[in-house]
Chains A and B, each alone.
Chain A
């Protein structure tokens, strides 16, 4: 087990370097000069711009810039933003806690409600409640998240007045409930459907018949025997979903004015803040890698037949 984890952790290093290099070269390849753009339509002094670029190391060739970036990164330095002249690490430290809170909220919502709905429907497959679930999830999957977001905003904030339409800059827990529900609803639909199918299928498995024949209480049959075996596809989905929830929430963040990671990457891209984009994307890559490692380890928990050595 320990060796397996160590090996997986070591494997992350090339993935990490590869992905940063890829993102870095993409940013480099984008047209447009962030230093020049600071001046807008006003006059520019080319000498001054050249001096600023030199100071930021932006005049160097790609490989050299990347090398500088990596060297800095290993010393814990994420680089400096071009316009604000502040360290990128500050921006990351600002945006990540908000997004992590939002993602955790959405994740808990997805998991708890999704699995509950899935089990509820899967136990009586093809009955009315199963059909209802399929209809609801179909709706959630087909309605784009921004439509859902605006609807929720109009209904809960303006019509009912339960919440404020926007999340304040502090992004307190209670303000994040609505955006988290909207953000999590798409994954919720997938989780519910996956659980439902898996549960419906496993109900017919041999070990279920054995468990019933042994005279085990129904709660134990469903809670342990059935659920544990049905969770593997769901856990796989949830693992990759963490990364999506963290990085892909630009639209939902925009609607509810959440100043999180999605927004930060979007702004940084628009202003060609290369080091900010690479820094944040790198962290999201790490989140993905760690999440998938956790998922693999969870397999062993859920299914004792799976062993890692």
Chain B
């Protein structure tokens, strides 16, 4: 009877295994809404798991920013045209672009009841900037006087306070910069500049899982990799007070799955329709489809240390730019998800101008002539590096095809398996000749698309472009007396950039999303995010 005995043993093991898996699978939410787990009056959007804990200065990716933006309100925000709207600030004044006086609106409270004062901002910014706290966005505070003391290039910080931040009273403080920055006010609109309540400093780690902000929504819960739920803040005093009862940020395995849920009424808003559904999403959704360009640009960035482009005549790069048939590629390969670029600065950014140049227009004959007459390309061969996990392969291949057909230059797509490997090659100067660059506006001023990308000391300048005249033009614009003058000087600088071609702008991004029949008033802000507080439930 040995057999029977061991059968019992096996059966026992299976029972244990079954019991172990029986847990889980509970449900919550009410029956009124068709969508599982969504309370009435809430809206849902496909915003997946934030990469990092929810601390404003440690988040720079889109998903986390979405949640942070709903929970925190900074001094100011931007409207759809990219104009400044004061939110928590009553006013921000300066006479010399160096010392800025901020007055806060009175009576604002964090969600735990604590009042928002000058200290809430000053202490938070000092904490964010401190090198010891290893915040991703610490460099955003580098304009402030005393930044080097809290964030030295090497070693421990000398101080835990930046000397440039001083409280005048509970609702007034001054920011002194180490040198004038005419567009500094615009920078303050970035999510990183959010204030923090006192409870944060006791346990930042716990705060990152359960943040307490001062924004239009109050944090409710975070089921990791499933959803984040926030509810409307009834005491909110800002202009962007929630018009719905709350938001569910839902995580989806794929964009296709999110789209399926949108169609079946289990999701209210989708940020981006996947390539599979792009050709038919306008038919499916009708006037609920959302297509709108936003302030972001994609470029091909030549690396000036490579054999291909070392000491190249910029006219050759202009020739390559003319060899790319932007119109056709955006229409066919990219399914209308991009809009051909006409300058280095995208639409919706202050200082966007018509450069009046034919560099961005497809002209194969002239392209061939430009490349050939200005010395050509060493080896007559270029590589375009891109990350294979980002859906870039199709258009890179098309761009290469276009360049090859127009100029006869051999163009080879150089795929890196993923974004990490792609970045590593850029950081270590191992790009063969060009890489795919993408840049979304942090703040809607043309300086963001000039200085941060093409100044010889800019950290995002992975093409290692370096030009004295361009640097000087940027410096001149930075030293301008007023914002208007600075924008204008940056426009002049852009003309210089066009002559030097540190990058070949390809196209501006568009959001291709949509919403369900259950919601209304879905609008998009300047960097392509939904204005969630404006969304109403039908």
Contact = CB atoms under 8 A, between A and B. Distances in A.
B61 A172 contact: no
A51 B227 CA distance: 31
Given A41-B439, A97-B24, A257 B3 contact: no
A39 B24 contact: no
6 nearest CB pairs, A to B: A32-B420, A43-B459, A169-B226, A257-B257, A165-B260, A32-B421
B287 interface: no
A254 interface: yes
7 contacts: A43-B452, A52-B134, A100-B20, A166-B257, A169-B226, A169-B227, A257-B252
A221 interface: no
Contacts, number: 178
Nearest to B135: A48
A48 B227 contact: no
Nearest to A269: B418
Nearest to A290: B13
A41 B420 contact: no
A85 interface: yes
A187 interface: no
Interface of B: 2-7, 9-10, 13, 18, 20-21, 23-27, 36-37, 49, 51-53, 60-61, 131, 134, 136-139, 151, 153-154, 205, 208, 223-227, 250-254, 256-258, 260-261, 263-264, 266, 389, 417-424, 427, 437-439, 452, 458-460
A272 B420 CA distance: 8
A38 interface: yes
A85 B205 CA distance: 9
Interface string A1-38: 10000000000000000000000000000011110111
A38 B52 contact: yes
A84 B51 contact: yes
A168 B223 CA distance: 13
Given A32-B418, A41-B439, A172-B25, A294 B10 contact: yes
Given A44-B459, A104-B21, A85 B153 contact: no
Contacts of B53: 84-85
A36 B424 contact: yes
Given A254-B257, A256-B257, A86 B25 contact: no
Contacts of A258: 253
Contacts of A36: 420, 423-424, 427
A37 B139 contact: no
A12 B65 CA distance: 45
A48 B131 contact: yes
Scoring B253, B257, B437, B438 by chain A CB atoms within 10 A of each residue's CB, the highest score goes to: B253
A42 B424 contact: no
Interface string A264-296: 100000111000000000000000000000100
Given A165-B260, A255-B257, 18 more contacts: A37-B420, A40-B60, A42-B137, A51-B134, A84-B52, A84-B53, A90-B224, A97-B21, A169-B225, A169-B251, A170-B25, A170-B26, A172-B27, A254-B253, A257-B253, A257-B260, A259-B251, A301-B6
Contacts of A95: 225
Interface string A98-113: 1011001000000000
Contact of B420 (A33, A166, A171): A33
A263 B138 contact: no
B2 A254 contact: no
A39 B419 CA distance: 11
Contact of B154 (A47, A85, A91, A164): A47
User: Chain A interface residue count: which class?
Assistant: 35 or more
A300 B21 CA distance: 27
Contacts of B23: 97
A85 B252 CA distance: 21
A41 B18 contact: no
Interface in A76-97: 83-86, 90-91, 94-95, 97
A215 interface: no
Interface in A97-156: 97-98, 100-101, 104, 153
Contact of A32 (B225, B257, B424): B424
Contacts of B251: 169, 259
Contact of A1 (B5, B27, B260): B5
A157 interface: yes
Given A32-B421, A37-B419, A37-B420, A170 B37 contact: yes
Scoring A94, A257, A304 by chain B CB atoms within 10 A of each residue's CB, the highest score goes to: A257
B139 A43 contact: yes
A14 B253 CA distance: 35
A259 B226 contact: yes
A298 interface: yes
Nearest to A306: B3
A7 B298 CA distance: 60
Scoring B10, B257, B266 by chain A CB atoms within 10 A of each residue's CB, the highest score goes to: B257
A209 interface: no
A300 B260 contact: no
A211 interface: no
B391 to A, nearest CB: 13
Contacts of B137: 42
B34 to A, nearest CB: 9
A258 B226 CA distance: 10
A253 interface: yes
A41 B224 contact: no
B531 to A, nearest CB: 23
A157 B260 contact: yes
A41 B6 contact: no
Nearest to A101: B21
Given A32-B423, A104-B21, A166-B257, A41 B418 contact: no
